Amino acid sequence: MSRKTKPEDPATKNAHAAIAFISNHPIFSPLAARAHISRQEDNPYPPNGWAIVTHNGRIYLHPKRRGETSEWIYVLAHCLLHLGLGHFKVKQQERQHYWNAACDVYVARFLHDLKIGTPPADMETRFELPVKDEQQLYTYLLERGLPPSLNFAGTAGPSASDMDYTEKKTSFYYYDKDPDWEAYLAKGLANAVTKAVSVAGGHLDSITSESASLTAAVRAKRWFIDHYPLLGALAAGFKIVEDAQICQRLDISIAAINILDRIIYMNPAAGLTDDETLFVMAHELLHAGLQHHERCMGRDHYLWNIACDYVINLWLVEMKIGEYPRVGLMLDPELRGLNAESIYDRMVADIRVYRKLATLRGNGLGDILDQGSSGLRDNREGQSLDDFCRNAMQQGLIYHEEQSRGYLPSGLVEEIRALGQPPIKWDVELARWFDQYFTPLEKKRTYSRVSRRQSSTPDIPRPQWVDSGSAEDGRTFGVILDTSGSMDKKLLAKCLGAIASYAAARDVPLARIIFCDAAPYDAGYMSPDLISDRVQVKGRGGTILQPAIDLLEHAEDFPKNGPILIITDGECDRLRIKRDHAYLLPKGKHLPFYPKGPVFRID
């Protein structure tokens, strides 16, 4: 009968897994290969701690200590850094415990920055001490004393030193000369930098992996990083996932992008060539770089995705990046020169047709994964995703132009540069709209009114500048306020305040105010002072704005060239307007038709 092997207990299994991880880590592998890690009961392990390290390169682990793999990784890295940082080269001093504590604090700060492993719960790793180097910290502790928290900084337990100088020298090396631990740590750091560059270039999946298969998607990512600066920085910041099962679960037929998690999904079953893969990856990267997730602004996700695809595909064909996949993607030369917002406004007028189109993800699905969010925005804390995409595209454009790497459409260049400019506030745009219709009044000098600025010489008559009264004739505009129940009172107050201030600044004496919900309520002409003071809102019923527009257009006391401002939340039917007009909408709202006048979105 065969003897059954005793199963490995969880504590031993976790410790062995940590040893294997440290032995394969690029930073610690040169040190671990020359150290002697032991976990035996007859070793001089610390009874109340995790491990100790000796001056000759032995690390003794507690054989009965239970810990997670990440905790053992932290302990082993801590001990190896004592060797690699040359802490044993310092001669024994009168207060060795102080030197050990200073080294423990320095190693804890090093591992915190490196973000490797998990500190055990009984070890203190957060210190508010000036950490420049071990020697200065040691001097600081001698002068100020040893804080109680430093008794728990090492891996040997409370008030115990994890650096052992007492063990006699034993020869377990192949050479008589002791290893140069500091040189091995330097070699490990150089290895880590080399692998980090390989990860950024797509050669490796992570710094702890040995190799990665260079699939078409990986080769495309490497090509952008090496040869195409415009998208190289973005490509380096996204992870490529090529898993047919994951793509099937997410209903991804060819490709999709998760901008929030910085992942590009490429379905290996799509059968794309290398040139087609370049086109598809550039397509997804431009979704992120042009901030299409942020510019959705409450629009229908799928229709907005289709509009962005039209713009991107036209640009990529002009830029001659890869080969256009023959899978029925959106490519309409008639839309050349339009931005995504303009194309979206056209699409909403005929939603039934555009609902049948397909993206790289498939029919009826957008290749910008929204994860069920309402605005495609990242609400998590941390680095700003929009800043990352914006900076990557702007730096890539600079490198692309400096190195003359190829043709870029003017529309793409303008859009990238526009990302670096802050958006114009709605009230500034409204002020510009007022300037188009109400030029400054001409003033004239008259002796009928004496200028009071010359009161020091009242015997000398001086003319005063006054406005010509005839210039104010017909100087007015109409305001239609949507007073339905869905309109916010604060929004109405903000709009009326802005309108009143701009009207007063441009010498508009009166404005025609009409409230409208299911029926129009004519408030007549009101001066800017009355508008900004207090206005009694009437209605608060349904939303039918056309009767108010008809009332203004047919009113005999309203000038034919007088412009109209319409304040609404977008929940209205198609409007028929024959004169100049503009819309004030809340941010994130959209009209259910293509607007012929400017739209100001209120923050």
Q: How many residues does the chain have?
A: 603
pLDDT digits (tens, 9 = 90+) for 141-165: 888 888 888 888 888 888 888 888 8
Query: Can you say whether the dihedral through the CA atoms of 392, 289, 295, 270 is positive or negative?
Result: negative
pLDDT digits (tens, 9 = 90+) for 121-138: 888 877 777 667 888 888
* β-bridge partners, 481: 515, 567
Amino acid occupying residue 386: D
DSSP string across 252-302: -SSEEEETTTTEEEE-GGG---HHHHHHHHHHHHHHHHTTTTTTTTTS-HH
User: What burial class does residue 282 get, using C-beta atoms within 10 Å of its C-beta: 0-12 exposed, 13-18 middle, 19+ buried?
Assistant: buried
The answer to whether residue 491 scores a pLDDT higher than 80 is no
For 7, 497, 514, the CA distances from 536, given in Å and listed in that order, are 82, 14, 11
Most confident of 35-39, 132-136, 291-295: 35-39
Q: Which pLDDT belongs to residue 505?
A: 76
**Tally of CB atoms within 10 A around 109:** 16
Q: How far apart are CA 202 and CA 220, in angstroms?
A: 9
Q: Which pLDDT belongs to residue 184?
A: 86
Q: Which pLDDT belongs to residue 469?
A: 54
Domains, the chain: 10-186 (no CATH), 213-419 (no CATH), 441-469 (no CATH), 475-602 (3.40.50.410)
Tokens 């509009």 identify what position? 307
Lay out the sheet containing 478-482: strands in order across: 520-526, 511-516, 478-482, 564-567, 581-586, 599-602
Q: Could you tell me where the beta strands, DSSP code E, fall in 454-500?
A: 464-467, 478-482
Burial 7-32 (b: 16+ CB within 10 A, else e): eeeebeebbeebbebbeebbbbbbbb
pLDDT digits (tens, 9 = 90+) for 196-235: 766 665 556 566 655 545 788 888 888 888 888 888 888 8
Q: Could you tell me where the beta strands, DSSP code E, fall in 135-269?
A: 163-164, 239-241, 255-258, 263-266
The answer to whether residue 422 scores a pLDDT higher than 90 is no
Tell me the backbone φ, ψ of residue 362, rounded to 5 degrees: 145, 180
